[in-house]
A = this chain, B = another copy of it.
Amino acid sequence: MPASKRDQLLATAERLFYEQGFHATGIDRIVAAAGVVRMTLYNHFASKEALVAAVLKARHERFIASLDAAMAVAPPGQATRALVDAHGRWLERYSQHGCIMAQAMGEFAEHSAEIHALATAAKADLLARIEAAVVRDGLVPHAGLARRLFMVLEGSNTAVVILGMQTALADTRAVTDALLAAARSETP
Contacts and interface: CB of A to CB of B under 8 A. Distances in A.
A148 B175 contact: yes
A162 B120 contact: yes
B21 A162 contact: no
A167 B147 contact: yes
Contacts of A105: 97-98, 161
Contact of A106 (B21, B108, B163, B167): B21
A150 B167 CA distance: 12
Given A98-B105, A103-B103, A144-B171, A159 B163 contact: no
A97 B174 CA distance: 28
Given A106-B98, A106-B103, A147-B163, A111 B20 contact: yes
B98 A158 contact: no
A152 interface: yes
Given A144-B174, A167-B147, A175-B175, A162 B127 contact: yes
Interface residues of A, number: 47
Contacts of A158: 99, 102, 123, 151, 154-155, 157
A144 B175 CA distance: 10
Q: Report which residue of A108, A109, A127, A174 has the largest number of chain B beta carbons within 10 angstroms of its beta carbon.
A: A109
Contacts of A178: 178-179, 182
Query: 9 closest Cβ contacts across the A-B interface?
Result: A155-B155, A23-B23, A151-B155, A154-B155, A154-B158, A103-B106, A21-B107, A151-B159, A123-B162
17 contacts: A19-B109, A21-B23, A23-B24, A23-B107, A99-B158, A103-B106, A105-B161, A106-B106, A123-B158, A123-B162, A144-B174, A147-B159, A147-B163, A151-B156, A155-B158, A175-B175, A178-B182
